[in-house]
Structure 1
Amino acid sequence: MELSLTQAAALLGKTRRQVEYLIKTGRLTARKVGTRWVIDDAELPLSPGQRQARERKASALHGVADEVLQQVAPRTRYSLRDLNAFREALAIFESGRNSLPQDHAALALIRECLDDLAVGCHRFGYRTKADAYSRARDRASLAVCALMVEPHNAAEPLIERLEQTLIPSIAGLLRRTERSTRE
């Protein structure tokens, strides 16, 4: 980092004139930018205590960085598990499977929604990806309709999650995919 004469003087515990003298005698390296002196902070002479403190800080920083880098798993390729919409649809499906009759139409539609999200996630072409996500959103909407048409006492929380979480999440996937087709 580049420091002005005043900043360097404050760090060294000297006056501005003393820093100018150090530059003039060659004991401190500085360069002139226009009419101002600029001093690289790495060039400042350090007392033994300052040097030890800087080394301790650097080694602690390296230790933390090494620890963090070891904790970070190698980056996997794009996965279906990365999609928030898929995770939410799966949670809704499991919740519905535990609370609705097994032959309820909404369960089949949510299952098809999961299938469409999986297809869309692994499609390469943006158009086919968008089509799969659009089908998933349609199936989630139809699941809401099925829950309203075939009432059940456990339907309300599922409707809420479908409308407030899953469908907007799929809409976000569609927006992102459509934005990519325009670019």
Structure 2
Amino acid sequence: MELSIKEAADIIGKSERTVRHMAQTGRLRARRIGSRWVINRADLEDIGKKGKRRKAAPSAPAEPPRTAHPETVPVAETLPPTEPRPDLSGALPRPSFTVSFEPAPPPAEPGSRDYPNTIRELDAFAIATTILSGIAEARRDPRADQTLLEEPEEALRTFLQLLTDGVHQPDLRRKEALFQRAQSKACAALSSLIHYNLVYPDPDFSRLAERIETHLLMSLQELREATHRRLTWRGRVITAAEIAIERLLEQARAITRGRLTERLNTFERSVHRALQHAL
């Protein structure tokens, strides 16, 4: 059975933002259908089982061998019985490149005037940083050609710079041009990784190249299409309508003094979703 991000978040008791980030970085097996992430329920149940193991009580420290000399007993085993050694076997792996702000409001709908709130909410950003960290990890391989790996690294760093500039660019035409340049840099990184494996068989970058082609470029294309729709006459009218609705709801929040904030937020998201379908 296939589940959406929201359904998966309800089942494992995490926020939608957390589940989306797990899917983006590969910590949760998921596949993209257009702009949506789809998760298999069986994979989700495995995540739930791992979560239970992480919550298990720490095991008691093992007794030192009776034949060991007193001076060779490890320091951790000389602690008092009331201070057991912490069990780190179920600790989560360190994220490669992410910043978490919790609690966080739900992200805006993809394609809406306010999406994304920050660069870190973009699929393209999470995918690109994961690929960049994969190349950095491959640099530690003694077989790696450092000179050839500089090309895809430089292309991806420039991609992230252009992506960030485009997200925070208020002018839509300038934004579209920056996303176009970012796409060229992603293609340059893809061709550099393919060229590397034509010269050297190891390290193998076929999986990273596939992620660029099937995930990174697709998510960037969605951003470009959403920006282009905003440049049409219909898009401008809808943007003006969104601004008017936001001002009206801000006044309503001020009048109610926070008593109906949650209902107003739900209403605002519903209106924005309806306007997106009109684009």
Q: Deviation per CA, 1:85-122, whole angstroms, max 9, x where unpaired?
A: 11111111111111145541111111111111111111
Aligned to 1:83: 122
Provide the identity percentage. Answer: 27
What does residue 138 of structure 2 align with? Answer: 99
Q: By percentage of residues, which structure has more helix?
A: 1
In 2, the alpha carbon distance for the partners of 1:83 and 1:128 equals 19
Q: Give unpaired runs (5+ residues) of structure 2.
A: 1-101, 108-113, 236-279
Match of 1:16 in 2: none
Instruction: In structure 1, give the amino acid aligned to 2:219.
Output: S
Rounded Cα–Cα distance in structure 1 between residues aligned with 2:188 and 2:222: 19
C-alpha displacement at 1:150, in angstroms? 2.4
Matched, 1:177 2:227: yes
Q: Which of 192, 207, 218 is the equivalent residue of 1:168? A: 218
1:44-83 superposed matches below 5 A: 73-74=104-105, 78-83=117-122
Q: Give unpaired runs (5+ residues) of structure 1.
A: 1-70
* Residue of structure 1 aligned with 2:172, choices 126, 146, 150: 126
Answer 1 or 2: higher relative contact order, Cα 8 Å, separation at least 6: 1
C-alpha separation between the residues in 1 aligned to 2:162 and 2:188? 14
Q: Does 1:141 align with 2:187?
A: yes
For 2:136 and 2:104, how far apart are their aligned partners in 1?
33
Match of 1:115 in 2: 161
**Alpha-carbon spacing, 1:95–1:180, altered in 2? closer, same or farther (3 Å):** same
- Name the aligned partner's letter for residue 177 of structure 1: T
AA at the equivalent of 1:107: E
TM-score computed with the length of structure 2 as normaliser: 0.38
How many angstroms apart in 1 are the aligned matches of 2:134 and 2:105? 32
Residue identity opposite 1:122 in structure 2: H
Output the amino acid matched with 1:106.
P
How far apart are 1:178 and its partner, in Å? 0.4
Q: How many residues align?
A: 113
Partner SS, residue 228 of structure 2? helix
1:73 Cα deviation from its structure 2 partner: 3.7
